[in-house]
Amino acid sequence: MKRMLSGIKPTGRLTLGNYIGAIRNFVAYQDDYEMFVFIANMHAITVPQDKAELKKNTKDLIALYLACGLNPEKATIFLQSDISEHAELGWILICNSYIGELQRMTQYKDKTAKGETGITAGLFTYPSLMAADILLYDADFVPVGVDQKQHVELTRDLAERFNNRFGDTFVIPEPLVTKVGAKIYSLQDPTKKMSKSDENPKGTIDLLDEPNVARKKIMSAVTDSIGIVQYDIENQPGISNLLTILSSLTGEPINDIVHRYTGKGYGDFKKEVGQVVFDFLTNLQLRYKEIISSGVVEKVIQDGNEKARHIAHKKVMKVKKKIGFQIF
Ligand code: TYM
């Protein structure tokens, strides 16, 4: 069975973008791959985090993984900071990364271009840590939204560089980006990614949003004056985004939805999207609440950590030997 690995940062609350671009696919793939899914809390601290909030977001993320349908019998779910090998291999890979290639990473480039101050060294080097996350587990595939593809490509470069220098050590992973929904856009500015860190809460649907509030956000989503429900990302980014959301949540192909709305206006269309999002969140939150009150979260992580630690430890020992850290 081929192996697959991915993770999400517990910063802020999870969005519908995280679900459609990432979690939905983890769930779909867990039957056919050996699946590893983790909570990337070491990545979260590349920007300042409040201790209590970080703890809550971490627990929520584990519960949401389960509520979305990840099955701990099939998928290994673990907490990054509990496996110290991530930091160990992360450092070794930082020492094999060039400043130039890290400077080309979009997130860092965007932040510096905006003139943001207080950017940490961790934010600059985090793609190398992400490479360690992936390479520790010999992942063949990494399912991610389109914004993370660049990091998986860097991971491939670092793995190849290391293998060339020290001999065959790492599996070269491939990014797996879904055809529909690899980038869900803000409801208020449909040219921008829907993001946990958006300052305008109306642009983002949180998985823990009150379902009625989420419906209202869909109803007030920015569209256009063309008046035809069709997929045209250039001229109708708002409507195209809503089509993607509806298709991802129902499985109905975009073309079929467009066909159903021939000659109809945006009002009816938004109502349907709003209802589907409402139902989706209602069911999800019901399961989330059950999971939180059942206390299962701790056990899931203990079991997952144990399995992950064993694999990560073996890989780091191999790496240490290859680079000359093991002297006896
Ligand atoms: P993060 O936490 O920003 O996002 C988690 C996943 O959600 C996807 N995503 C989206 N997909 C579609 N539309 C959106 N609007 C949207 N917003 C987010 C992301 O592409 C991602 O797949 N560095 C990673 C976490 C990470 C990781 C890893 C992932 C750390 N180590 C190893 C894979 C493998 C991150 O910040 O994702």
CA of 225 from ligand 1 middle (Å) equals 33
CA of 21 from ligand 1 middle (Å) equals 8
Q: Is the pLDDT of residue 35 over 90?
A: yes
What digits encode the pLDDT tens for the residues 233-254? 999 999 999 999 999 999 999 9
Three-state DSSP state, 6: strand
Residue 28 and residue 37: Cα distance in Å, rounded? 13
From the list 193, 217, 270, 315, the catalytic residue is 193
Q: Is the pLDDT of residue 199 over 90?
A: no
CA of 260 from ligand 1 middle (Å) equals 33
Q: Provide the whole-model pTM.
A: 0.96
Residue 230 and residue 47: Cα distance in Å, rounded? 39
CA of 176 from ligand 1 middle (Å) equals 12
Per-residue pLDDT averaged across 26-46, rounded?
A: 97
Compute the residue count for the chain. 328
Catalytic, 193? Answer yes
| Rg of the Cα atoms in the chain | 21
Q: Is the pLDDT of residue 159 over 90?
A: yes
Residue 278 and residue 280: Cα distance in Å, rounded? 6
Q: Is the pLDDT of residue 127 over 90?
A: yes
Q: Is the pLDDT of residue 223 over 90?
A: yes
Rounded to the nearest 10 degrees, what angle do helices 85-94 and 296-323 cross at?
40
Which residue's CA is the nearest one to ligand 1's atom 34? 6
Count CB neighbours of 267 within 10 A: 8
* Those residues with Cβ within 8 angstroms of residue 283's Cβ, 6 or more apart along the chain or in another chain: none
- DSSP conformation class of 39: E
- DSSP conformation class of 204: -
Within the chain, strands assigned E span 3-8, 34-39, 75-79, 141-143, 174-176
Which residue's CA is the nearest one to ligand 1's atom 14? 17
12: alpha, beta or left? (left if phi > 0; alpha if psi -120 to 50):
left
pLDDT of amino acid 84: 98
Percent of the chain topping pLDDT 90: 96
User: Which residue from 6, 18, 180 has its CB within 8 A of the most atoms of ligand 1, so it is best to mutate?
Assistant: 18
Ligand 1 binding site (Cβ under 6 Å of any ligand atom): 5-9, 17-18, 20-22, 40, 43, 130, 133-134, 142, 144-145, 147-148, 182-184, 193-194
What digits encode the pLDDT tens for the residues 69-108? 999 999 999 999 999 999 999 999 999 999 999 999 998 9
pLDDT of amino acid 197: 83
CA of 144 from ligand 1 middle (Å) equals 6
Token readout for 163 is 């293998």
* Those residues with Cβ within 8 angstroms of residue 76's Cβ, 6 or more apart along the chain or in another chain: 35, 36, 37, 304, 307, 308
Which ranges constitute the DSSP H helices of 196-265? 211-219, 237-250, 254-260
Phi, psi of 143 (to 5 degrees): -75, 120
Element (H, E) at 278: helix 266-294
Residue 25 and residue 14: Cα distance in Å, rounded? 15
From the list 74, 111, 192, 202, the catalytic residue is 111
Which residue's CA is the nearest one to ligand 1's atom 27? 7
Token readout for 211 is 């379902």
Percent of the chain topping pLDDT 70: 100
Catalytic, 196? Answer yes
pLDDT of amino acid 152: 98
Nearest to 211 by CA among 257, 124, 274: 274
